[in-house]
Structure 1
Amino acid sequence: MICPRHLRVFISVVICILISTTSGRSIYNDYMQQRKQLIQDDSKLRIGGKLVLRSDEKLVSDFFMKEKTKIIESSRQNLTLYMPAVSFFLSKPQIDNSTLLKLIQRMPKGGALHLHDMSVTSLDWLIKNATYRDNVYMCVGDDSLINFHVFKSPPKHSDCVWHSVKDERAKAASVDDFDLMLKRNLSLLATDPLTTYPDNAHIWIRFARYFLQVYNLIFYAPIFKDYYWRTLEEFRADNVQYIELRGAMSGVFDLDHTVHNEEFGVQLYQNVTTEFVQAYPDFVGAKVIMSGSRNSKAVKILDQVKTAMYLNQKYPDFMMGYDLVGNEAAYNPLLFYINELLYPATQSPPYKLPYFFHAGETNWEGTDIDDNLADAILLNATRIGHGYALNKHPKLAQLVRAKNIPVEVNPISNQVLHLVSDQRNHPMASLMADNFPIVISSDDCATWEALPLSHDFYVAFMDMSGEDADLTFLKQLAINSIRYSAMSHSEKHKAMKLWETKWDMFIKGVIEEYMPSYHLK
């Protein structure tokens, strides 16, 4: 028989154990709940974090995530090279063969807002179409790179000896090999990029050289018109519904040596755009942004600003503003042209010329280059191109967010130009995790043989968002491209309606192809 006193002690011990166990379990459960909530709250801050997917969208998102997770976890668990983050020059073949890229190609991506006119139409078209025309000549420079030009008759005395491309092709043992040689001579793709382009300075030299190679081919009026039409075709084929194109607007020429001015260029762009939208009503359209070069004299920039004001006033729904382009590290900062850029504000009444400045496309900090960000903000830029150095300037980043100035992020361009090697370390990734006003574009995609926009969306999805960032991330990027475009309110509304229709078709199409057993309600 148990003594009552011992029984009381036994019962007290049991109760203490139960209380301790229950308390421990409660502490553990409380901790895990707080942890789950903290992670959820953090993930909701990222781009797309607040979007709620429909059941059919969730199904497609799960399929995206299955493919994404498979690639990421294979690298993490097997300690193998993570190819999506490797140089695009090397990773492109593997990306091209991925299911995810094929899905992203099918996805309606809205608009591409940061593009340069001479470097967005595929090199394949340039070689297979433009160089097959009459009066197209080529010469090989001292650097072994080919220059193209359209002449009625080539100059007899020139440092570079001109030959008819048609004649050279006819003499070639293989037409296909000849055309491939021309393409490789233009392309920046390299099998050993670190050796070919050891740093930012070297790749910029080659990059700038590309424009000299093709300028006098693309800007021949008949080719120029067809080239732009082809640009629109290729972006539409990549499921982009709208583009904004930067260019000088001047320099289009005829065989009789007539060189046309900026207004001619704007009118040509506008006319082709109108014709294209009439032919393809599922494409929203395009707008242009006039751009000058950072290595120009101040007086030339002033003339361009005045011309941009005139064109913006005359074509307010198409010629949307002005930018300065070129290697920020090598050429003049915005401050060098401050009087010229302030000129519109000195008019009576002040003229609000929209600016779309390239700014902070650099790894340097505390220099004239990243100080361009401050000038872009003070000059009330409508958008900022690249903004790569922005995360190093918390006050400037705070102002950009407060003013809701979108940043045009071009992932592959930044990698190709040696700003970042592993895209997972891209400085914009941290801002994207905090739902910064960001759009993804492709800059000069043709020069490194990227798709019009899909490759950059792929890199953003695989490298610049978390493993758990799903279809909401991509959907928000597409929505951002319309929201932050230079379209009017009514144009954005129309574009959004069109995009939503295409998005629903995309969701339905993916389910029907990849999940045929699922019955849409």
Structure 2
Amino acid sequence: MRAVIFLLYFYSVYASDIDEYFDKRYKILKSESRLSLGGNVSLSDKEAAVNICLMHYKFKEVDYWFDNPRYFNCSRHYFNYKQYIKTSKVFRIIQDMPKGAALHVHDMGLLGPDYLMNITYQDNLYVCFDNNLHLIFANAPPKSPCDGKWQLMSKARSFSNNVTKFDADLRNHFTLFVKNPDTVYPSIRETWRAFMKFFFTVQPMLSYRPVWEQYFYDALKKFREDNIMYLEVRSILPNLYELDGTVYDPIVTAKTYKKVIKNFTKVHRDFFGAKLIYAPPRKVDRSKLEEYLELAKRIKQEMPDTFAGFDLVGQEDLGSPLIEFVPQLLESRKELNYFFHAGETDWYGTLTDENLVDAVLLGAKRLGHAYALPKHPQVLNEIIKKDIGLEVNVISNAVLSLVRDIRNHPLSAFLAHGLPVVLSSDDPGVWEADPLSEDFYIAFVAVASRLSDLRLLKQLAINSLKYSALDSISKDDALRKFNYKWNEFIDNFNCSKYQH
């Protein structure tokens, strides 16, 4: 009898310990879920129904990859799996979903090679082939230096004897995409050389004023078609020119943005608009930076409604670190909002890495990339305290050789800690990606938790407007219009549409 009582007591205590263990486990996981980005979003009944469909397809994809890791595409170079993304049902849902704003994009990287190829069929485009490709619009052969011979593109194409091959070779200058990326881009050095060469090639062609205006208008159209309602575009503000050789001041380039935005929103009433971030190259000295800052102040004075702020761009590892410009940037921060690229590096303890510290101390409103942030706990605390937006560009970071297996991207930690993340796409045209949907998709299925659902996607879209440079009244208006688009998407959602 005593043995029976002892056993009953033992099992009751054991059962109590087990219950307590699983209760603690449940509370930890529940707490982590609430802490994560989107964890406190409440879904309506209709949203919950959409979520069931979305997560059915997400689980199907992720669980297959978990069981068959050799088929997990996102552990390889983006160029090796990008063609499969569009077959995903999750991607198609995300494509149809309102995504708010794209806050980190560069003007000359917005549209892809096929669009740029169409420009090469326009009249008055001259081409010169030497070690590089040179393209300029003019009404007579350009006098720009080139080791080859300037000729009209139309004549060069017709004299090629094989137009198909000529165009295929020409197209390769307008994209980073290759079939063997591991061979062509063995390190960040080769990737960035190709990346900068792209801009060196396309800038003179795109800077022809009529082309520039049409290009930006069509870029807005492309982003709108991807269910984006607002943009903040970084630009080096190249000098636009005319066929007769007239060259304009960069302030004209800025005003061209304002003109195109006004014309586009007049036609497309559901598009909220766009703003300009002046973002010249960072590999300069202090005197050149002073010129940059003075131009930024001029632009703000002449078009305050369109101008958002100031940044410095280019490969951080090779450019001048922010600390070199602290006196001037401190002096100008009362007049200019900063949106600095910072921490776009794998190197720890370098001046590039420490750009994160200076960007926060200089009062940046958002940080571009912030890839190195997990290595800086004090900076992370400041970002949480000051609610500084983090502009994350997952495909860009993969293509530009910061990360290979996308599961290792620090965005996973950012999302887990509920940090103020905004997803963007950097230069989607350069790697032939959609304006924003592919970045959303990869972040959702390959970086975020398997359990992250529609609440995360909705919060990311809301964040893109919350952390924008819009004033408070415009921000409230943009959020109202987003909610209308979101509810329309939810009300019209039909899961059967994605079955095939």
TM-score range normalised by the length of the shorter chain: over 0.9
- Offset of 1:371 from its aligned partner? 1.2
CA distance change for structure 1 residues 147 and 100 in 2, over 3 Å: closer, same or farther? Answer: farther
- What's the CA shift for 1:185? 2.7
**TM-score normalised over the length of structure 2:** 0.95
Letter in 2 for 1:230: D
* Counterpart residue number, 1:152: 139
SS at match of 1:317: coil
Partner of 1:183, secondary structure, is: helix
User: May I ask how many residue pairs the two structures share in their alignment?
Assistant: 498
Q: Specify the SS of the correspondent of 1:139.
A: strand
Write the distance in 2 (CA, Å) between the matches of 1:168 and 1:506: 48
2:115 maps to 1:132: no
Q: Check conservation: 1:360, 1:369, Cα contact below 8 A.
A: yes
1:190 aligns with 2:178: yes
Match of 1:228 among 216, 222, 235: 216
Percent identity of equivalent pairs: 37
Q: Distance in 1 between matches of 2:490 and 2:180?
A: 39
2:31 pairs with 1:44 = no
Letter of the 1:138 partner, please give it.
Answer: V
1:392 aligns with 375
Which residue in the other structure is 1:414 paired with? Answer: 397
Change (3 A) 1:259 1:155: closer
Q: Are residue 65 (structure 1) and residue 48 (structure 2) matched?
A: no
Counterpart check, 1:28 vs 2:18: yes
Secondary structure of 1:486's aligned partner? coil
- Counterpart position of 1:264: 252
Question: In the alignment, which residue of structure 1 is the partner of 2:85?
Answer: 95
User: What do residues 473-517 of structure 1 show as CA deviations (whole Å, max 9, x unaligned)?
Assistant: 11110000000000111111111111111111222333264499x
1:55, CA displacement in angstroms?
Answer: 1.5
CA distance in 1, matches of 2:150, 2:87: 40
Using the alignment, how far apart are the partners of 1:175 and 1:49 within structure 2? 55
Q: CA RMSD in A?
A: 1.9
- Tell me the amino acid that sits aligned with residue 316 of structure 1: P
The TM-score normalised by the length of structure 1 is 0.92
Q: 1:206-246: per-residue Cα shift (whole Å, max 9, x none)?
A: 10000011011101000000000011010001111110001
| Cα distance, 1:27 vs structure 2 | 2.7
Partners in 1 of 2:294 and 2:496 — Cα distance? Answer: 54
2:328 is equivalent to residue 340 of structure 1:
yes
* Structure 2 residue runs without a partner (length 5+): none
Instruction: Report the CA distance between 1:177 and its aligned residue.
Output: 4.9
What are the Cα deviations for residues 1-38 of structure 1, in whole angstroms up to 9, with x where unaligned?
xxxxxxxxx3x544444443343333322322221221
Match of 1:123 among 113, 119, 127: 113
CA distance in 1, matches of 2:466, 2:142: 50
Moved more, 205-214 or 249-258: 249-258
For 2:360, give the aligned amino acid.
Answer: I
Query: Alignment partner of 2:90: what SS?
Result: helix
Please list, as runs of the form range in 1=range in 2, the aligned pairs for 1:142-291 lying within 5 A after superposition: 142=131, 145-155=132-142, 158-171=146-159, 175=163, 177-291=165-279
Name 1:348's counterpart in structure 2: none
Q: Which amino acid aligns with 2:465?
A: I
| Equivalent AA in structure 1 for residue 126 of structure 2 | Y
**Of 371-380 and 230-239, the range deviating more from structure 2:** 371-380
Q: Distance in 2 between matches of 1:235 and 1:388?
A: 25
SS at match of 2:232: strand
**CA contact 1:250–1:260 (8 Å) conserved in 2:** no
Tell me how far apart the structure 2 counterparts of residues 180 and 60 of structure 1 sit (CA, whole Å).
42
- Cα deviation, 1:309-358, whole Å, max 9, x if unaligned, reads 1221332221111111111111211122223323326xxxxx43111111
Q: 3-state DSSP class of the match of 1:112?
A: strand
Query: Does the 8 Å CA contact 1:84/1:462 hold for their aligned counterparts?
Result: no
Give unpaired runs (5+ residues) of structure 1: 1-9, 346-350, 517-521
